[in-house]
Amino acid sequence: MKLYDSDRAPNPRRVRIFLAEKNISVPSVMIDLANMEHRGEAYSRLNPWQLIPSLVLDDGTVISETVAICRYFEGLQPDPPLFGVGALESATVEMWNRRIELNLYGAIAAAFRHSHPAMAEREKPQVQEWGEVNRARVPTELARIDAQLSRHRFVAGERFSIADITLLCSVDFMRIIKQQITDEMPHLARWKALVSARPSAAA
């Protein structure tokens, strides 16, 4: 089994943190995003979407998409559970993970891709106005998450889950668009200190 990984990007980091929480070790192949290795022939054959991460099993089966890779490992090793246990908790984890990935992370990524000069070659067309629209969405999403964290220890409830991993990787990635957790988001700040102290956060 091999994990196609990159140390510069948030989605592969989600998988690394997930694996660290489960104490699973997987050999990795580092892909050089800066030099567009992921758009070369070899990686494009593995993943025609040309995105990292991908997991290649010993029989050659390729699993791409961060959450799909994490679900595979959850199935192989259910403990500790990171997708929730039982119908209600699983649905709640799914709800928050999707909200964070689609709304918060989606807005951060679009703001970065459509406004940062370093992305001009990669994001064609780069639409500055779309970058600004997305940048403005970030504080609204953070405020919604801050309200949730005022009621719960972790974002999907009282147990650490994949939704916390997605949130940590998103919040840490905000530096790229020069946004941060502000004084108006004390619950998010409390949560960030809590999850950043877990050994997995270094992955």
Ligand X SMILES: N[C@@H](CCC(=O)N[C@@H](CS)C(=O)NCC(=O)O)C(=O)O
Name the residue nearer to ligand X (CB basis): 48 or 86.
48
Could you tell me the two tokens for 53?
């991460």
Instruction: Check if the beta carbon of residue 155 is closer than 8 Å to that of residue 96.
Output: yes
CB-based contacts of 50, cutoff 8 Å, min separation 6: 38, 39, 43, 44
Distance of CA 144 to CAs 96, 134, 140, Å?
A: 11, 16, 6
Name the residue nearer to ligand X (CB basis): 28 or 66.
66
Name the residue nearer to ligand X (CB basis): 97 or 146.
97
Cα distance between residue 78 and residue 61, in whole Å: 21
Q: Do the strands 62-64 and 54-56 form a parallel or antiparallel pair, or are they unpaired?
A: antiparallel
Instruction: Check if the beta carbon of residue 188 is closer than 8 Å to that of residue 181.
Output: yes
Name the residue nearer to ligand X (CB basis): 3 or 185.
3
CA dihedral 16, 57, 101, 179 (to 10 degrees): 40
Q: How far is the CB of 160 from ligand X (least distance, A)?
A: 20
Q: How far is the CB of 101 from ligand X (least distance, A)?
A: 7
Q: How far is the CB of 105 from ligand X (least distance, A)?
A: 9
Q: How far is the CB of 145 from ligand X (least distance, A)?
A: 19
Name the residue nearer to ligand X (CB basis): 20 or 33.
33
Among 133, 136, 145, CA closest to 170: 145
Q: How far is the CB of 38 from ligand X (least distance, A)?
A: 6
Name the residue nearer to ligand X (CB basis): 67 or 188.
67
Give the distance from CA 98 to its chain's centroid.
11
Cα distance between residue 161 and residue 155, in whole Å: 8
- Which residues lie near ligand X (CB under 6 A)? 9-11, 33, 38, 51-53, 65-66, 122
Q: How far is the CB of 22 from ligand X (least distance, A)?
A: 18
